[in-house]
Structure formats: structure tokens, C-alpha cells
Structure 1
């Protein structure tokens, strides 16, 4: 058997996450860019996002972020708009929860956007009805 010369393989690369503990500089939008909130993930490196300008766009996750930065429904992202396709965009950056809150404090994001909460799927059939029941104190005592 050959001697193991490396420092590790796939599992070592998976365990590495250097960007978690360090603070990074807050990136603001420029010309041709827009803030958006992910509505749902579609697979194949794509997601559906509602942009701040009110348009719903199909977003493509760029290769540098693919399988390295995990995006979920409800996340705030920065997308690059396409000049030739208004209904499509490219994901440039995912904001962490504290960065998104700071953007809201600096009034870059509107107050109506819920940071760090999942977005309600428009295809839900219950119409936004909550799945919990309120009990009175007497009810709990009887149980």
C-alpha cells in the first residue's frame, strides 16, 4: 500500500469554514445590482427571489458560491441584474443575519422585510393559518 502523503481529503475540505468567525466588510448594492429575499430553492443551482424593486426573479447561484455558501428560503441576497433578461438574475453574495439587520438599520432594506425568518410559500393551501392552539390556564390544569 502506498504511504499516505496528504494532509486529508474531501472530509478535511468539508470541515474547513474559515469565514465563519471573522467579520467581513458590509457590501452595498451598486448599479445593476439589487437586494432580494429568497422565496424558495429550485435545485440545480437556482432559486426564486423577490427583489426589493417588487419583481420576482429566477436567480442563478454562481459557481464560486455553489456548494460552498448554503442559501435557504428567507435569506437576504445581493443579485446582479441582467440587461437582456429582466426576469433572471445572478446571485452575487449572501448576507449573514447580522449583516442583513445592519442593512435594515442603514435603511438599505425596507422595514417590511423579515430578516432571519423563513418566507411563507405562496403555494400553501392553509392560507397562512397557524398550526398551534392556545390553551387557557384552566385547560392545562385539567390535562
Structure 2
């Protein structure tokens, strides 16, 4: 059995995620579009609703693949393809505060929900949620 020469395993090689500093807000250029992730498909792909009204199949670029985790509901910047309108490439994921800033600047429309997870966690006053008591079931 070989002797261990290194210090630690996979987690040590991965390093700490220390990119919490403020980064400059990046706006879209020509050939790019803002989109909201509808669902994750696996294998580095996702389905996104672009701001221009088109649903596109998007591919997460290799630089982001295992470093930036994209979830459903996130706001992303996608690069459009000249030769395939139904497909795009994810260039950048916006953090929640950056997405709120984009909304304030008028880059994102008003109907876009920036942080769905925060709204669901606060949701005591959510009238759409269906609650039931097990005591109610005993009466049936």
C-alpha cells in the first residue's frame, strides 16, 4: 500500500470559495440577452425564458460548470447563437443583489421575480399555498 504524500483530499485541492467581494455589474451587449432559468436539465444544460420572450435551451460554459452553481429561478446572462435561435450559452450568473440592481436600472421587466426562494421562505401570508390539518382528516 503506498504511503500518503499529500495533505488532505479532494476538498483541500478544491480550495475555499472566497469570491464574496463586490464585483462590477455587467450589462448585456449585442448578441447577449438576460434570461431566467426555468428548469435544470442535467449535463450542463438548462431551459431558460429570455427577456425577449423566447424559451431557449442553454448550455453552461465550461469555465462555470463546477464552480458556479445555477438553480431554477436564477437570472443569467446568455450569449445568443447566430446559427441557432433556439439555443444559447450561459455566460454569467447574477447574484440576487445584482439582479435587483438590474431591475432598478430598468434592464429587467417588472414581472420578473428576482429571488423566488426568499419570497417562498417569508411566505406566511401566501394565499396560494394549501394547508391542511390532520385533525380535519379525522373528521372525514
Q: After TM superposition, is the score higher than 0.5? A: yes
1:33-54 deviations in whole A, cap 9, x for unaligned? 0000000000000000000000
Asked if residue 110 in structure 1 is aligned to residue 109 in structure 2, the reply is yes
Q: How far apart are the structure 2 equivalents of 1:36 and 1:54?
A: 9
SS in 1 for 2:116: coil
TM-score, with length taken from structure 2 = 0.80
SS in 2 for 1:38: strand
RMSD of aligned alpha carbons = 1.6
Q: How far apart are the structure 1 equivalents of 2:48 and 2:13?
A: 30
Q: CA deviation at 1:15?
A: 5.1
SS in 2 for 1:91: strand
SS in 2 for 1:93: strand
In structure 1, the partner of 2:3 is 2
SS in 2 for 1:104: helix
Instruction: Please list every run of 5 or more consecutive structure 1 residues that lacks an aligned counterpart in the other structure.
Output: 119-128, 134-143
Q: How many matched pairs?
A: 121
Q: How far apart are the structure 2 equivalents of 1:51 and 1:23?
A: 26
Deviates more, 1:10-19 or 1:38-47: 10-19
SS in 1 for 2:103: helix
In structure 2, the partner of 1:36 is 35
Q: CA deviation at 1:13?
A: 3.9
Q: CA deviation at 1:9?
A: 3.5
Segments ≥4 residues shifted beyond 3 Å: 6-9
TM-score, with length taken from structure 1 = 0.78
Higher fraction of helix: 2
Q: CA deviation at 1:132?
A: 2.9
In structure 2, the partner of 1:137 is none
Instruction: Please list every run of 5 or more consecutive structure 2 residues that lacks an aligned counterpart in the other structure.
Output: 118-127, 133-140
